[in-house]
Structure 1
Amino acid sequence: MQHILLYGDSLSWGIIPETRRRLSFDERWPGVMENALNAEGRRVRVVEDCLNGRRTVWEDPFKPGRKGIDGLAQRIEIHSPLTLVILMLGTNDFQSMHPHNAWHSAQGVGALVNAIRQAPIEPDMPVPPILIVAPPPQEEPRGAIAPKFVGGDRKCIGLAAACREVADMLGCHYFDAGTVASVSPVDGVHLDVDQHTRLGEAVAKMVAGLLPAFRP
């Protein structure tokens, strides 16, 4: 069995826009990806570590524990050996209480990459390759979350390109989720179920080419 760690936020946790409910595993994109890979005989398990409101390297001033870099090395240690780590973060870096732009957020992703590679895993376990997934760009926020994300649609401009630069610089794989999925018109931030399907299927195709042949 090959293990993939997905480190993300509410876009991967599968929150249903304008609710506090969660899509089922088979509906949210990590589950779609796992199912697609296993249907090809890959024998993959996706370990979901997705926290609503998680930033890359900044604190949430209102909710503790949303600073993504904190404890990341220990999560790598806990779940090793890993075949792949997927990072999909950045959306919450643009919440209204933060002044950050796309460059800042991408640098945060780079810090996460370094933390993964410096994790204190056992000596005979591999340092996993990393796939950086740039989240789809935000639109004007709507509904109950609008005050939290106001201005995010402007601050996030250029995130995909900035994440690609970081991926190239640090030798990571890269995928732009915005090429296959778009945020929900309901809230302008999260993903509707059909977009989870599109994203999961697309990432599965890329990941299939990154995984080594499985040997029981």
Structure 2
Amino acid sequence: MKTVMCFGDSNTHGSPPMRDFGPNPRYGRDQRWPGVLAGLLGYGWHVVEEGLGGRTTLRDDPVEGAMRNGLRALPGLLHSHKPLDLVIVMLGTNDVKWSFGMSPYEIGRGADKLLRVIAASECGPGFGAPRMLLIAPPPVSEAGCLAEMYRGGAEKSRRLAAEFEAVARARGAGFLDAGGHAKVSPIDGVHWEAGEHASLAAAVAGKIGEMFGGE
């Protein structure tokens, strides 16, 4: 049995597009992309879902607090779910929020720090390092109720794929540009319709097949 942990934000958690700031539901396990991925990988794979709305690479959220900081959460999660054969990281969307003032380069450095933590964790099989897959999230648009929160973020988000690909190459990780397989909803410019989850899951399953071959 191989174990893969999907470490991400609200799109990994399965939040549908938001029309307002009221209570927000969650897609079912068979709709959100880690759950779809589990079905595609099938027997012999266990998929751990670790998605949290608002999660950043390494910044405390000034409104929602330190729990949104991916770097704070990651070490404990790695040890909680070890041994891990693969860790998938898809963060960066929340880092482009206006309040953080981060450049695409700085967001890439945040992703790099997460990969370094994973590589040094000894949470893979035999106390080795888990394999890693870094996913660049689809670019956001500035729309709907989240438009002000993401002011200026659309342009930044379009530059993340190049930054993340360079980071993945430097750290020996796999890379996938989710923007080639999923797009944000025009309702809020950040979250995805259910079909986009299925599309990304198929792409991730294909990438995992490349990384693990016939293992």
Provide the TM-score with structure 2 as the length reference. Answer: 0.92
Moved more, 150-159 or 127-136: 150-159
The one-letter code sitting in structure 2 at the alignment partner of 1:103 is Y
Partner of 1:210, secondary structure, is helix
Given that residues 55 and 90 in structure 1 are in contact (C-alpha distance below 8 angstroms), is that contact kept between their aligned partners in structure 2?
A: yes
Q: What are the equivalent positions in structure 2 for 1:88-103 lying under 5 Å apart? A: 88-103=90-105
Deviation >6 Å, runs of 4+: none
Partner of 2:179, secondary structure, is helix
- Seen in structure 2, the aligned counterparts of structure 1 residues 4 and 123 have a Cα distance that, compared at 3 Å, is closer
1:65-88 alpha-carbon deviations (Å, 9 max, x no partner): 111100312211111111100000
Match of 1:29 in 2: 33
1:44-79 alpha-carbon deviations (Å, 9 max, x no partner): 111011110000011100112111100312211111
Given that residues 141 and 184 in structure 2 are in contact (C-alpha distance below 8 angstroms), is that contact kept between their aligned partners in structure 1?
A: yes
**In the alignment, does 2:87 pair up with 1:85?**
yes
Identity %: 36
The one-letter code sitting in structure 2 at the alignment partner of 1:157 is R
Partner of 2:149, secondary structure, is helix
Partner of 1:124, secondary structure, is helix
Match of 1:209 in 2: 210
Q: What are the equivalent positions in structure 2 for 1:30-179 lying under 5 Å apart? A: 30-38=34-42, 42-64=43-65, 65-119=67-121, 121=123, 124-142=126-144, 144-179=145-180
Match of 1:193 in 2: 194
Given that residues 17 and 187 in structure 2 are in contact (C-alpha distance below 8 angstroms), is that contact kept between their aligned partners in structure 1?
A: yes
- Seen in structure 2, the aligned counterparts of structure 1 residues 21 and 121 have a Cα distance that, compared at 3 Å, is same
1:5-50 alpha-carbon deviations (Å, 9 max, x no partner): 1100001111010161100011011111110110xxx421110111
Distance 1:123 1:132 in 2: 19
Match of 2:4 in 1: 4
Distance 1:210 1:119 in 2: 20
Instruction: Specify every segment of 5 or more residues in structure 2 that has no aligned partner in the other structure, as ranges.
Output: none
Given that residues 53 and 66 in structure 1 are in contact (C-alpha distance below 8 angstroms), is that contact kept between their aligned partners in structure 2?
A: yes
Distance 1:83 1:123 in 2: 6
1:125-164 alpha-carbon deviations (Å, 9 max, x no partner): 331010000000111222x222222221122231001100
Aligned length: 210
Name the structure, 1 or 2, with higher relative contact order (CA <8 Å, separation 6+): 1
- Judging by fraction of residues, say which structure has more helix: 2
The structural deviation recorded for 1:205 is 1.1
Provide the TM-score with structure 1 as the length reference. Answer: 0.92
